[in-house]
Amino acid sequence: MDGFGDNFDQAEVDPAAEFLAREQNELAGLDDDLAPAASNGPTPVLTNETPSPAHRPTPVREEPEKIKKWREEQKKRLEEKDENEDKKREEWREAAKKELEEWYRHHDDLIAKTRAANRESAMNAEKQFVADDDEIEPGTEWERIAKHCDFNPKASKGSKDVSRMRSIILQLKQNPLPINGVSNKRS
C-alpha cells in the first residue's frame, strides 16, 4: 500500500498543535525583551493543547459605583410604581363597586316604577272592561273585541304575523255574522 502514498501506520499530527509549537519557538526570545505588563489575571501559558472554556479562569469584575447606584434607584422607582399601581387598582375597585351599587339601585327603582305603572294600567283596563260590560248591546261584540286588538300594521320582527286575524276581526266588526238567525247589525 505504500505505492499509493497512504501511510496509515504513522501517527497523525495535529496541525493546530504543530502551528502553536512553531509560533512558540519563534516568539520565545521576545518574551525576555518586553517588560511584564500589569494584568489583573494570570499570564496565559502557551502549550500544545488549547485550553477549554471551562478551564479558563474568568476575571471577576466589580460593578462601577454609578451602576450600583442606578440599580438601587431603579429598584426604588419600581417599588414606588408597584405601590402606586396597587393604590390605583384599589381606587378603581372602590369606584366600580360604587357605580355598580348605584346602577342596581337605579335598576330596582325602574323596575318598581314599571310594576306600579303596569298595575295601574291593568286596574284601569279592568275598570273599563267592567264599565263596558254593563253596556252590552247586541251587535257590538266585535267592536268591543276590536278595542282590545292592536291594528298597527307595523309588527316587530320577533312577533308573529297577525295580519290575517286582524283583517278577519275588521270584517266581522263591519259585517257581523247573524247569530241564531237574528241579525246583529245595528239599526
Q: What is the pLDDT of residues 4-22, one digit of tens each?
A: 666 555 566 688 888 888 8
Q: Are residues 126 and 169 in the same domain?
A: no
Calculate the CA 11 to chain-centre distance. 69
Q: Are residues 124 and 142 in the same domain?
A: no
31 located within any domain? no
94 located within any domain? yes
Contact residues for 146 (Cβ-Cβ < 8 A; gap 6+): 169, 170, 173
Phi-psi label, residue 5: left if phi above 0, alpha if psi -120 to 50, beta otherwise: left
47 located within any domain? no
Domain count, the chain: 2
Residues paired with residue 182 on neighbouring β-strands, in sequence order: 179
Q: Which domain holds residue 144?
A: 138-153+160-187
19 located within any domain? no
Query: What pTM did the predictor assign?
Result: 0.35
176, 139 Cβ separation under 8 angstroms: yes
C-alpha separations of 172 from 2, 99, 132, 158, 162 in Å:
126, 55, 19, 27, 16
Q: Are residues 116 and 164 in the same domain?
A: no
Q: Are residues 86 and 144 in the same domain?
A: no
Q: Are residues 122 and 164 in the same domain?
A: no
3 located within any domain? no
For residue 3, the 8-state DSSP code is G
Q: Are residues 123 and 96 in the same domain?
A: yes
Q: Are residues 72 and 119 in the same domain?
A: yes
pLDDT of residue 154: 67
CA–CA distance, 175 with 177 (Å, rounded to integer): 7
pLDDT tier at 61 (50, 70, 90 boundaries)?
Answer: confident
- Per mean pLDDT, which of 29-33, 112-116, 153-157, 165-169 is the most reliable? 112-116
CA–CA distance, 5 with 73 (Å, rounded to integer): 72
131 located within any domain? yes
48 located within any domain? no
CA–CA distance, 42 with 118 (Å, rounded to integer): 97
Q: Are residues 121 and 146 in the same domain?
A: no
Q: Are residues 114 and 73 in the same domain?
A: yes
Q: Are residues 131 and 145 in the same domain?
A: no
Q: Are residues 74 and 122 in the same domain?
A: yes
Q: Cell numbers of 77, please?
A: 422607582
Q: Are residues 127 and 85 in the same domain?
A: yes
97 located within any domain? yes
Note the pLDDT tens digit of each residue in 90-147.
999 999 999 999 999 999 999 999 999 999 998 988 888 777 666 666 667 777 777 7
